[in-house]
Structure 1
Amino acid sequence: MGLKTRHITLVFLLAYFKAHTQAHDVMPQPKLDYIAPITNKITARLFFTNTYNSFTINDRDSNLSIKMEPNKQNKIGASLSYRFITASFAFAPNFLAENKDNENSKLFNLNLRTYFGKWMQTLDIFNEKGFYLKHASANVYFSNLKAFKIGGATSYIVNENLSFKAIVPQHEKQLKSAGSFIPRVLYYVTKYDIDDAPTATKLDMYSYDIAFAPSYYYNVVPFNNLLLSAGVSAGIGLNHTHSKSNGNKENLTSLLTEFNFRTSTSYNINNAYFGAHYSYLIINHNTDRSSYVNDNIPFLQVFLGIV
């Protein structure tokens, strides 16, 4: 028996509109032979999404490695966008194989992106309940294991001829190939909560990440209406972890490293478009003096839309 998860996300970013308009007026405009703006039009899309936040805990003194993987869910949905207003609906249907055994689990995620001239702001939220702990041949499900993550990145697109809006959310069209160096600052807060009565284990842990993660993206237009895009970032920063387990407290500040790869492809025919996005974010840091964590966020979306 499966648990169907539905969520409706209605995001109003009208407060950003005035700031964006002012920034747009003072920033140099892209050359029209590189970018064609799509303004005053409603963008509608259908999509399939698979994304989650998993963790791999590695012990420094042994070869022990435990993977914490949430009870994953595939979602399908639809969205409408107009300038800075987006309304979306997505759900995890039982007829998809991966959703058939997700009772008492939760996987909610929200991804937002907005632009202010050359500045780009992203926001990510993951709320997960129910994890599999995998080690060697063992695969144990903990229904009361929870993780909540919120954060994002602030980026600056140096070359105005590169259009990120042509990638997400298709509000511009890249006419000629262009690339750009994109410095960015990445930050996340993650809360872990384990309350397992049979093993008398109770853990509350907060993890704070901040990193400078410069990136480079390139949009390739091999021929009219086809866009291929790829980008990579490598960052370094700090993590601070505060944990409390069965009455014992520990604080640790350690070095953090970040790696992110993203690729996209889209094709438009008149007012219709389709394509796919894929990205993989890895954040590595210590959690205590004897272990370190690989914090992983894969993301896949396949979409079909009209403008």
Structure 2
Amino acid sequence: MFQRDLLCILVLACSTIFCLRAQDSLAHNQYFRQYPNKVLIRTNLINTSNEFSLYNENLKTNIEVIPNRKTTLGLSFNYDLLAFSFGFAPEIFNSNRDKEDGQIFSFSLNLYPGPWIQEIDFYKQNGFKVRAVDYASSHLPNARSLKIKGKTGFNFNPNFSFRAKNFENQRQMISAGSFIPAISYSFTALRKIRVLDKIENANFYTLAINPAYYYNWVINERFLVAGGLSLGLGAFHTSDRESSSTHLLTTSSLDLSLGYTTDSFYSGIRAYTQVQNQSSSSHAKVDDAVRYFSVVIGYRFDAPKFIKKTNEDLRRWLNSL
């Protein structure tokens, strides 16, 4: 069951990415600078987690499900319309050393064909603890979660660089903002979550419409402050061995960043929070939150020939769809 659900969401995610028709986004624009022949590599230190709140009908209380590891090291690659990154939680960080059973691995793939924005994120966590009011916390070394989520959005303002706010391969030169509506979707699997004497295995699916507004404020040529807020409404479906149900879903996210950049080097900090709330009082109620704070350092350099050729082949293939 788990493998089948995972395969379905992967097929959906890949289909969404590659069904978008690429448009040429390299036209001259005085509002932001692009680096079409540059490869960007960046590293970042992230304090991150995917936390859950499960409602227990017997206890009449919410039980927090918290991952054991939160500090991850990330590496990302960006060239033209494609960007991807991955992160893991090494034991070199003090916050990870005393949590022997905890692991976090993440992977992201972003595609920017013209005004379209396509994002796919993958989170895998092992090792949790659970806690509730008036009950002692317990450690769950065998518990794990898997989340795959995506977002398809459209940038209505050609003068606004969505990629500049995330410290990718564009640089906002004149302040601008944009309304960016999006459709978001996700699949989450929880395995071996013990609540008192009961083991919880469940799958969660979400689909929502997320209108958002983002703004890049250029303080001067090298300093940028960026922010974004989104609110959404959609559906939440949960299923386990005993039952399944669908409920109303509300979502919200806040994205803030501050960066210093030149044509070759940049650094910055970014804070992001996304919260999903299910409108239900049933035993299957789940509140889901993804939060992270990151410190980023990146460098741009001339792209090797094989990367340029691969990128040109990708553009031709997308334009042929």
* TM-score, with structure 2 as normaliser: 0.79
Are 1:162 and 2:142 an aligned pair? Answer: no
User: Residues 142 and 231 from structure 1, CA distance in 2 versus in 1: closer, same or farther, beyond 3 angstroms?
Assistant: same
Give the deviation of 1:30 after TM superposition: 6.7
The correspondence of residues 52-71 of structure 1 with structure 2, limited to 5 A, is 52-58=49-55, 64-71=61-68
Aligned residue for 1:11? none
Aligned residue for 1:177? 175
Name the one with the larger strand percent.
1
Task: Give the stretch that moved more between structures: 51-60 or 202-211.
Answer: 51-60
Task: Give the stretch that moved more between structures: 77-86 or 32-41.
Answer: 77-86
Q: Deviations over 1:103-151 (max 9, x none)?
A: 2332111122211111101111111121110223622111122211112
Secondary structure, in 3 states, of the residue corresponding to 1:166?
Answer: helix
Match of 1:271 among 264, 269, 285: 264
Secondary structure, in 3 states, of the residue corresponding to 2:112?
Answer: strand
Aligned residue for 2:144? 146
Aligned residue for 2:10? none
User: Residues 88 and 215 from structure 1, CA distance in 2 versus in 1: closer, same or farther, beyond 3 angstroms?
Assistant: closer
Q: Deviations over 1:192-231 (max 9, x none)?
A: 11266x9763332111100001000011012111111100
Are 1:261 and 2:254 an aligned pair? Answer: yes
Give the deviation of 1:23 after TM superposition: 3.1
The AA in structure 1 aligned to 2:164 is: A
The AA in structure 2 aligned to 1:177 is: S
Give unpaired runs (5+ residues) of structure 2. 1-14, 301-321
Secondary structure, in 3 states, of the residue corresponding to 1:24?
Answer: coil
Secondary structure, in 3 states, of the residue corresponding to 1:165?
Answer: helix
Moved over 4 A (4+): 15-20, 59-63, 84-91
CA contact (8 A) 1:194 1:201 kept: no
CA contact (8 A) 2:188 2:204 kept: yes
The AA in structure 2 aligned to 1:95 is: I
TM-align CA RMSD: 2.9
Match of 2:36 among 27, 35, 39: 39
User: Residues 90 and 57 from structure 1, CA distance in 2 versus in 1: closer, same or farther, beyond 3 angstroms?
Assistant: closer
Aligned residue for 2:99? 102
User: Residues 234 and 18 from structure 1, CA distance in 2 versus in 1: closer, same or farther, beyond 3 angstroms?
Assistant: closer
Give the deviation of 1:274 after TM superposition: 0.4
* TM-score, with structure 1 as normaliser: 0.83
Are 1:234 and 2:231 an aligned pair? Answer: yes
CA contact (8 A) 2:140 2:193 kept: no
CA contact (8 A) 2:183 2:208 kept: yes
Aligned residue for 1:24? 23
Task: Give the stretch that moved more between structures: 56-65 or 181-190.
Answer: 56-65
Match of 2:273 among 280, 294, 301: 280
Are 1:251 and 2:249 an aligned pair? Answer: no
Give the deviation of 1:17 after TM superposition: 11
Match of 2:210 among 213, 216, 241: 213
Aligned residue for 1:93? 90
The AA in structure 2 aligned to 1:261 is: L
Percent sequence identity over aligned pairs: 29
Secondary structure, in 3 states, of the residue corresponding to 1:124?
Answer: strand
The AA in structure 2 aligned to 1:163 is: S
Q: Matches of 1:71 and 1:94 in 2, distance apart?
A: 12
Q: Deviations over 1:17-44 (max 9, x none)?
A: 9988x7324x7x7762211111111212
User: Residues 260 and 199 from structure 1, CA distance in 2 versus in 1: closer, same or farther, beyond 3 angstroms?
Assistant: closer
CA contact (8 A) 1:60 1:292 kept: no
Give the deviation of 1:233 after TM superposition: 0.5
CA contact (8 A) 1:230 1:263 kept: yes
CA contact (8 A) 1:30 1:160 kept: no
